[in-house]
Amino acid sequence: MASFGVGAEQEPLLGDHTPGSRGDIIETEEHYKSRWRSIRILYFTMFLSSVGFSIVIMSIWPYLQKIDQTADASFLGWVIATFSLGQMAASPLFGLWSNYRPRKEPLIVSIFISVAANCLYAYVHLPPSHNKYYMLVARGLVGFGAGNVAVIRSYIAGATSLQERTSAMANTSACQALGFILGPVSTDEVQVPQGNIDQVAVVATNVLFFVVLFIFALFETIVTPLTMDMYAWTREQAVLYDGIILAALGVEAVIIFMGIKLVSKIGERAILLGGLIVVWVGFFILLPWGNQFPKIQWEDLHNNSIPNTTFGEIIITLWKSPREDHNEGPTGCPFEQAWCLYTPMIHLAQFLIAAVLVGIGYPSCNVMSYTLYSKILGPKPQGVYMGWLTASGSAARILGPVFISQVYTAWGPRWAFSLVCGLVLLTITLLGVVYKRLIAFSVRHGGIQE
């Protein structure tokens, strides 16, 4: 039977280990195939989870408006956030569970919860009242089931060597992104090198991951309301066009993940820094400018005339869309949002360029942040640590939608995207401060050279 000699950098954390040996680790061909078979099954699990998420996310706002007329854009933020609240609560629990029991147990339970929660979501239109609250509960339970991401990442981190991990994490993210478009290892004890985990690097990486997820969560939340306000799209048009845009970003993310595998020698820290800079440019481009303004929703109950109103020196046309007569609802920027009267529109080309840049920066930052995190933790059980990382990402997905829906509704895109740009600048500064500490455990304690 063939065997593979591997050193410290090539040793899987959960691989076969000869006690007391610090030299080459012998891994049989059967064991090598077994662990990669398990990893590929988890790739597929991640893909299916993302397929389910992507099917739902773009239709939440139109679905919410249809089932409960009392729901507004602010409540949309809470509906989207509750998914991440559930995931944040579940991630540390599933991670701890996976540290002490076979990982298949939390995976099976989480999948069962996800299926039941999605069935509830599908039928939230049936109750005679309070439908928006049923949707809130359903999305929270779906998020709780999605807490298995921590188990998947900790397993992959534990079943790969340092040399394999960047590629494996990139593949995981590629499967996750691909979803937006359309078993066992040896349980023998591993000798853990002496040394403490750099807690400053751990906390900093959690903060970085939080910001990365926060930014993308608010972006995917605001896409539908923003395009409906700026371009007077109907609900059906917004679901279709925004779905196409996000699918294109999914394709872009897969390409980015594959590219990261080719340029991984540049280093995770440098790619993370570059990704944050690209994200900042993307949101800077989204800032409104010029003298063209969005069309305003105006429901004239008496006739179909087109009145004009003056706001300062700006003359704005208030209009009643003929689509309103076909039960598709009014289109344009709601008159109740006062900023619609004085904030220039974000041109479609402007929005698409920004989306492309965010689509480049986000996947780069995403995969690099948790790849760095797994290397910082070193060859120790990572279930709980990965649970906290996923929880920080879930917290971001809670706060991001709430933040953007509240600020956007009250003050408009100029304030919302300016604050995002400021946050990204602070994050880039933090990365610069801790840059030299974001190194692998084995490098920090002299096991191998970086």
pLDDT digits (tens, 9 = 90+) for 227-276: 989 998 888 888 889 888 888 888 888 888 777 766 666 788 888 999 99
Shared domain for 302 and 279, answered yes or no, is: no
pLDDT at 418: 94
Quote the domain boundaries for residue 311. Answer: 296-330
Shared domain for 234 and 304, answered yes or no, is: no
Shared domain for 113 and 253, answered yes or no, is: yes
The answer to whether position 336 is within a domain reads: no
Alpha-carbon torsion angle 376, 381, 382, 384, nearest 10: -130
Between 322 and 272, the more confident residue is 272
> Residue 183: is its pLDDT beyond 80?
no
Residues 6+ apart with CB under 8 A from 62: 224, 235, 236, 238, 239
| Count: domains in the chain | 2
Shared domain for 304 and 262, answered yes or no, is: no
The answer to whether position 70 is within a domain reads: yes
Shared domain for 301 and 375, answered yes or no, is: no
Shared domain for 161 and 305, answered yes or no, is: no
Question: Angle between the 149-158 and 29-57 helix axes, to the nearest 10 degrees?
Answer: 150
Please check whether residue 199 is in contact with residue 283, taking contact to mean a CB–CB distance below 8 angstroms: no
Please check whether residue 442 is in contact with residue 165, taking contact to mean a CB–CB distance below 8 angstroms: no
Q: Token pair for residue 13?
A: 């954390």
The answer to whether position 338 is within a domain reads: no
The answer to whether position 76 is within a domain reads: yes
Choosing from 306, 330, 354, the residue where a domain stops is 330
Task: Report strand pairing: 314-319 vs 296-297.
Answer: parallel
Shared domain for 118 and 198, answered yes or no, is: yes
Looking up residue 189, the CATH number of its domain turns out to be 1.20.1250.20
The answer to whether position 218 is within a domain reads: yes
Backbone angles phi, psi at 315, to 5 degrees: -100, 125
Q: What's this model's pTM, rounded to 2 decimal places?
A: 0.60
Percent of the chain clearing pLDDT 70 (strictly above): 77
Task: State how far the alpha carbon of 268 is from the alpha carbons of 38, 142, 167, 362, 436, in Å.
Answer: 25, 32, 11, 14, 12
Dihedral sign for Cα atoms in the order 34, 53, 172, 437: negative
Between 5 and 119, the more confident residue is 119
Dihedral sign for Cα atoms in the order 391, 396, 401, 405: positive
Choosing from 330, 354, 381, the residue where a domain stops is 330
Which residue, chain included where needed, has tokens 């604050």? Answer: 419
pLDDT at 328: 57
Which residue, chain included where needed, has tokens 């080309």? Answer: 349
Which residue, chain included where needed, has tokens 């930052």? Answer: 365
The answer to whether position 385 is within a domain reads: yes
Q: pLDDT for 364-407, tens place per residue?
A: 888 888 778 878 877 666 566 777 777 787 788 888 888 988 89
The answer to whether position 337 is within a domain reads: no
Shared domain for 410 and 301, answered yes or no, is: no
Shared domain for 120 and 199, answered yes or no, is: yes
3-class secondary structure per residue, 244-258: HHHHHHHHHHHHHHH
Nearest one of 46, 40, 83, 80 to 64, comparing CA atoms = 80
Shared domain for 318 and 364, answered yes or no, is: no
Q: pLDDT for 61-83, tens place per residue?
A: 778 878 887 777 667 777 877 88
> Residue 425: is its pLDDT beyond 90?
yes
Shared domain for 305 and 280, answered yes or no, is: no
Residues 6+ apart with CB under 8 A from 206: 373, 388, 389, 392
Shared domain for 216 and 326, answered yes or no, is: no
The answer to whether position 14 is within a domain reads: yes
